[in-house]
A and B are shown apart, each in its own frame.
Chain A
Amino acid sequence: MLAYYFRIALKSLRRNPMLTALMIGAIAVGVGVCITTLTVYRLMSGNPMEARNDVLYSVTLDSWDPNKPWTDDHPELPPPELTYRDAQALYASDIPDRKVMMRKAAFVIEAPPKSGVAPFLVEGRTTTKDFFGMFNVPFKYGGGWDQAADDASQQVVVLTKKTNDKAFGGADSVGQTVRLDGHDYKVVGVLDEWAPTPKFYDLNNGAFDEIEELFVPFGIGEQYEMQSAGNTNCWRDQQIDNFQDFLNSDCVWIQFWVELKGSQKVAAFQEFIDNFVREQKALGRYERPLNNHLRHPDEWLKVNEAVQDDNRVLVGLSFTFLAVCLLNMIGLLLAKFLGAAPLVGLRRALGASKSAIFGQHLVEVGVIGLGGGLLGILLAALGLWGVRNLYENYDELTRLDIPMLLTAIGIAVLSGLLAGFYPTWRVCRVQPAAYLKTQ
């Protein structure tokens, strides 16, 4: 039965190729545009820490200027980063299951002289040992470092895959030595591909940048008096004459995250940071009202407005466009179905039931929807190819995956049926007598 409906649907579509092409084309561009913008939007709005969202928290304290909030647009928000000494104080707490403090720093890598690779500058991150475990960072070789390495600021390093490819030709370099800023570091681990998008753990320094190219223990930064390679924001009028003055200053530049399992721990840690700030208030710091936050990654991405408004506007406009395409298709279908009304009248007179007519037309509409969907996917692939030319480094990410392909077909067939429903219903109401009379 269905096969028969399918056959007459194809026959009917072939009868009027121009109109069929128009309808399929309309659905296809509508779907293509929507899938393109949706893919970009999903990429930009994804939460790379979805799996650990319920136990991870970013930590922020409002240490900012009493005369002026951190940002005028959102006066309720504290700065996204901590001061060095506050980070140290929070890190001393043993309430969190895991915790990490970190910041960016630049390093020059000298490859072994025999390799012939000239020294090159990379962006690095000084961090504490839990970084890798807390954020599920994948390793290709080796692993992170231990507490002892943090405590003694041992010269150990974790390389990204990219850096390892460049300095060691992709070989397992664990145990080897790499020279950074004129000092020898032992490689303890090499990461596998890892591209959290947005880069949730440090949104303040390029939310869509790639991850840093190497990782060393946090204490290294202090030991070698390394400047921050990320944004540093200061407000207090303080004399800063040397690196130690800088570390003691009220400038914010350290990112801080904790892992807390269970609401009791969350409450306890919130209590701990609030008490810490109250103590500091007594010492004349923290002149703003108490405003300390523990935020899950999804909330963190939201308050930092990681998703650009542009992408949201584009998705809205794309779906409006799809609506126009569908209206267009309804109009064309209506014209086509009603144009063939005499035929329907004849078939009804010969005994076809209303439901059979309905089914036949619905199958025809479904075929158009499916065709439009498939063509729409091709157009979306073309659109994303265009997007890749507009973006840089997004090759991996702006690709159609299975969920997106299914969404595309879903949108196409659904909108095809939606658009086809009314014309189909109209054609079913054809009175056979009206057409038979004139024949």
Chain B
Amino acid sequence: MEFRPILSAMLRNKTGAILVGLQIALTLAVVANAVFIIMQRVEKIGRPPGIDSDNLFFVQSYGFGPNYDQRDTIRRDLDLIRALPGVVSASSINGIPLSGGGSATNLGPTTQREKQTVNTNYYTVDERGMESLGLKLVEGRNFTQTEIEFNPDPAGGQFGNFAIITRDTARAIFGDEHAVGKRVYQGADDSAVVIGVMENMLGAWVGWDKLTQVMLIPRIQAGPLARYVVRTEPGRRDALMAEVEQKLSGSNPNRAISYVRSHTQIKERSYRADSRMVAFLSVLIALMISVTALGIVGLASFLVSVRRKQIGTRRAVGARRADIIRYFMLENWLLTTGGVLAGTILAFAFGQWLSSAYSLPRLPPLYVVAGVVVLWILGQLAAFLPARRAAAIPPAIATRTV
């Protein structure tokens, strides 16, 4: 089979070929970039949170009225929650990981302010905090009950004497040195000894690039807001959420219980922008590929219909059905190849624009290569039906006038 006759036939119907070629080019450009964005988001959503997300829920208590006592309320509430069957552990906590709200501070290895630049999310927990969140300690030890201090001032930013930090925080502050036993500083007067290093924990803001820099402090915050993290046995979470809400509401008239949410719910909400983007882009890709495939089918069908006589003649002078099919498939392959060549340039240009305008990472060539292969296959599949119809044209048609 020669390319030359196919090419010259295509040149005679330039417009149709160019139109479909352009469609293929644009499709490649959009699909390669969209799939790349989707993969980034899927990876972001799938990051291990470090905590036992599936079996956790959070409760918020807000005290009001003159008889409200924060310390006493927290002690009683935790006693009540921990005694419930199905509860693995519970702790007070000042914020909710991956919720979009939290506290952060700058830490450093010395008292010098300029060196305190490691932005770190912090959570105040009690001695059961590690267990209640389902965190994994890799070095050092956990807090003890006597180390938990009560912070009477709600606005105070000072932290206590001890801290457990994530491995990433340790690396950011101390480099390759051992962190356990060293002090981390927040300003000149404020410091804590690192007593433990945990494997991994994600902080509050899912879009934050320092999300893995997290610190736990042994402390109970002053009121009127109190939060609890409750870890349950697998499968018991939803039932316990209702039970805890009801029991706590009834136990103390000086506060209101609210925001009883599973961590799955909270996480889903925080990643909503990303999952939305994934959904949008997936639909767009599916539509785009379908429209382009239909475009290829349309052009090929048109070409078959105007060449009926020519095909009949070829068949009459000895071309087999397979030759006819091969002709159309090859023609389509040439068309697709032209399209993807232009599309490759477009895809990188598009990727360049996205990365400069929206500070996204550069488009890796692999996505374009994969896109080219997919479009080649798509083109061949789309051309096959019309080609088969062409092959079915009887040789006798050559003898008719119209």
The chain A residues found within 8 Å of chain B, CB to CB, are 19, 22, 26, 29-30, 33, 37, 67-68, 106, 108, 110, 118-121, 181-182, 206, 227, 231-232, 234-235, 237, 239-243, 245-246, 249, 251, 308-310, 312-314, 317-318, 320-321, 323-325, 327-328, 330-332, 334-335, 338-339, 386-387, 390-392, 422, 426, 438
Contacts and interface: CB of A to CB of B under 8 A. Distances in A.
A314 B33 CA distance: 12
Given A234-B157, A321-B30, A391-B272, 5 more contacts: A29-B291, A237-B190, A313-B354, A327-B22, A335-B302
B358 A312 contact: yes
B366 interface: no
B150 interface: no
A29 B291 CA distance: 9
Given A237-B190, A321-B284, A328 B62 contact: no
Contacts of A327: 19-20, 22-23, 26, 295
A268 B390 CA distance: 81
Contact of B225 (A227, A312, A318, A321): A227
A29 B358 contact: no
Nearest to A325: B291
B176 interface: no
B62 A106 contact: yes
B15 A334 contact: yes
B156 interface: yes
A331 B298 contact: yes
Contacts of A121: 60, 62, 256, 258-259
B291 to A, nearest CB: 5
Q: Is the interface of B mostly helix, strand, loop or mixed?
A: helix
Contact of B284 (A110, A231, A318): A318
B161 interface: no
B72 interface: no
Contacts, number: 158
23 contacts: A108-B256, A120-B258, A121-B258, A182-B64, A227-B155, A237-B186, A240-B157, A242-B153, A246-B153, A246-B155, A249-B155, A317-B30, A317-B281, A321-B284, A324-B23, A324-B288, A327-B20, A331-B20, A331-B298, A332-B295, A332-B298, A339-B306, A390-B279
Given A118-B256, A120-B258, A331-B299, A33 B287 contact: yes
Nearest to B21: A327
A181 B22 contact: no
A320 B29 contact: yes
Nearest to B287: A29
Q: Interface size bucket, B side?
A: 35 or more
Contacts of A422: 15
A324 B358 contact: no
Interface of B: 15-16, 19-20, 22-23, 26-27, 29-30, 33-34, 37, 60, 62, 64-66, 100-101, 106, 113-114, 117, 153-158, 186-190, 224-225, 249, 255-256, 258-259, 269, 272-273, 275-277, 279-281, 283-284, 287-288, 291-292, 294-295, 298-299, 301-302, 305-306, 354, 357-358, 401-402
Nearest to A68: B117
A237 B189 contact: yes
Contacts of B287: 29, 33, 321
A395 to B, nearest CB: 15
Contacts of B302: 335, 339
Contacts of A387: 276
A323 B284 CA distance: 13
Nearest to B306: A339
A328 B34 contact: no
A339 B153 CA distance: 83
A22 B157 contact: no
B94 to A, nearest CB: 12
Given A237-B113, A243-B155, A335 B298 contact: yes
A22 B62 contact: no
A232 B113 CA distance: 20
B295 A328 contact: yes
B19 A334 contact: yes
Chain B CB within 10 Å, residue with most, of A182, A318, A320: A320
Contacts of B255: 108
Given A328-B291, A328-B295, A67 B114 contact: yes
A328 B294 contact: yes
B268 to A, nearest CB: 10
A74 to B, nearest CB: 12
A330 B19 contact: yes
B174 to A, nearest CB: 21
A313 B358 contact: yes
Nearest to A208: B273
Chain A CB within 10 Å, residue with most, of B16, B26, B113, B298: B298
B114 A33 contact: no
Contact of B153 (A240, A392, A426): A240
A182 B357 CA distance: 52
Chain A CB within 10 Å, residue with most, of B23, B189, B255, B269: B23
Contacts of B272: 390-392
A415 to B, nearest CB: 14
A321 B287 CA distance: 9
Nearest to A390: B276
A330 B269 CA distance: 43
Given A182-B65, A234-B157, A237-B113, A309 B358 contact: yes
Contacts of A314: 277, 280-281, 284
B157 A33 contact: no
